[in-house]
Protein backbone atom coordinates (compact mmCIF):
# COMPACT_ATOMS: atom_id res chain seq x y z
CA UNK A 1 0.00 0.00 0.00
CA UNK A 2 1.23 3.45 -0.91
CA UNK A 3 0.11 6.82 0.41
CA UNK A 4 -0.06 9.41 -2.36
CA UNK A 5 -0.39 13.10 -1.52
CA UNK A 6 -2.52 15.02 -4.02
CA UNK A 7 -5.33 17.61 -4.11
CA UNK A 8 -9.08 17.19 -4.39
CA UNK A 9 -11.47 18.98 -6.78
CA UNK A 10 -11.41 22.13 -4.63
CA UNK A 11 -7.59 22.10 -4.64
CA UNK A 12 -7.41 21.14 -0.94
CA UNK A 13 -4.69 18.66 0.12
CA UNK A 14 -5.79 15.04 0.31
CA UNK A 15 -4.22 11.58 0.40
CA UNK A 16 -5.04 8.45 -1.58
CA UNK A 17 -4.15 5.00 -0.37
CA UNK A 18 -3.57 2.21 -2.82
CA UNK A 19 -1.34 -0.32 -4.46
CA UNK A 20 0.89 1.00 -7.25
CA UNK A 21 1.64 -2.54 -8.40
CA UNK A 22 -2.00 -3.50 -8.99
CA UNK A 23 -3.17 0.11 -9.55
CA UNK A 24 -6.08 -0.10 -7.10
CA UNK A 25 -6.70 3.09 -5.13
CA UNK A 26 -9.34 4.05 -2.59
CA UNK A 27 -11.05 7.34 -1.73
CA UNK A 28 -8.98 10.33 -0.71
CA UNK A 29 -8.86 11.50 2.89
CA UNK A 30 -8.14 14.81 4.58
CA UNK A 31 -4.59 15.10 5.98
CA UNK A 32 -5.86 15.60 9.56
CA UNK A 33 -7.84 12.34 9.42
CA UNK A 34 -4.73 10.52 8.20
CA UNK A 35 -2.65 12.04 11.02
CA UNK A 36 -5.22 11.01 13.65
CA UNK A 37 -5.46 7.46 12.28
CA UNK A 38 -1.69 7.03 12.11
CA UNK A 39 -1.24 8.30 15.68
CA UNK A 40 -3.98 5.97 16.95
CA UNK A 41 -2.27 2.94 15.39
CA UNK A 42 1.30 3.84 16.33
CA UNK A 43 0.35 4.66 19.93
CA UNK A 44 -1.72 1.45 20.12
CA UNK A 45 -5.09 3.16 20.75
CA UNK A 46 -6.87 1.36 17.92
CA UNK A 47 -6.28 -1.51 15.51
CA UNK A 48 -9.05 -2.37 13.06
CA UNK A 49 -7.44 -5.70 12.22
CA UNK A 50 -6.72 -6.96 15.73
CA UNK A 51 -6.35 -10.52 14.43
CA UNK A 52 -3.20 -9.43 12.56
CA UNK A 53 -0.12 -9.63 14.77
CA UNK A 54 2.30 -6.72 14.58
CA UNK A 55 5.52 -7.80 12.82
CA UNK A 56 8.82 -6.92 14.47
CA UNK A 57 9.95 -3.68 12.86
CA UNK A 58 13.69 -4.41 13.01
CA UNK A 59 13.68 -8.00 11.75
CA UNK A 60 10.68 -7.78 9.39
CA UNK A 61 10.70 -4.23 8.00
CA UNK A 62 8.69 -4.94 4.83
CA UNK A 63 6.04 -6.90 6.69
CA UNK A 64 5.89 -4.18 9.36
CA UNK A 65 5.41 -1.40 6.78
CA UNK A 66 2.63 -3.34 5.05
CA UNK A 67 0.99 -4.12 8.40
CA UNK A 68 1.24 -0.47 9.52
CA UNK A 69 -0.22 0.91 6.30
CA UNK A 70 -3.06 -1.62 6.40
CA UNK A 71 -3.86 -0.75 10.01
CA UNK A 72 -3.78 2.98 9.25
CA UNK A 73 -6.07 2.57 6.23
CA UNK A 74 -8.60 0.63 8.28
CA UNK A 75 -8.43 3.22 11.04
CA UNK A 76 -8.96 6.04 8.53
CA UNK A 77 -12.40 4.60 7.73
CA UNK A 78 -13.38 4.55 11.41
CA UNK A 79 -12.06 8.07 12.13
CA UNK A 80 -13.76 9.49 9.03
CA UNK A 81 -17.08 7.84 9.94
CA UNK A 82 -16.93 9.13 13.53
CA UNK A 83 -16.13 12.69 12.42
CA UNK A 84 -18.91 12.60 9.81
CA UNK A 85 -21.39 11.31 12.39
CA UNK A 86 -20.25 13.89 14.95
CA UNK A 87 -20.76 16.70 12.43
CA UNK A 88 -24.35 15.58 11.81
CA UNK A 89 -25.07 16.09 15.53
CA UNK A 90 -24.03 19.76 15.51
Q: What is the pLDDT of residues 11-43, one digit of tens each?
A: 888 877 776 655 556 666 777 888 999 999 999
Backbone φ, ψ for residue 89 (5° rounding): -85, -10
What pLDDT, on a 0 to 100 scale, did the predictor assign at position 5? 78
Q: For residue 54, what are the contacts with CB-CB under 8 A and spacing of at least 6?
A: 64, 67
Q: What is the mean pLDDT of the segment spanning 44-52? A: 90
Is the CB of residue 31 less than 8 Å from the CB of residue 13? yes
* Per-residue pLDDT tens digits for 58-86: 899 999 999 998 999 899 889 989 999 99
pLDDT at 24: 55
pTM of the model: 0.69
Structure confidence at residue 88 (pLDDT): 94
At residue 10, the pLDDT reads 87
Amino acid sequence: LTLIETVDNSNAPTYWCGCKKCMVFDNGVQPKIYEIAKKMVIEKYFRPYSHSDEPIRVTEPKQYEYWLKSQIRGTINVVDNIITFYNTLK
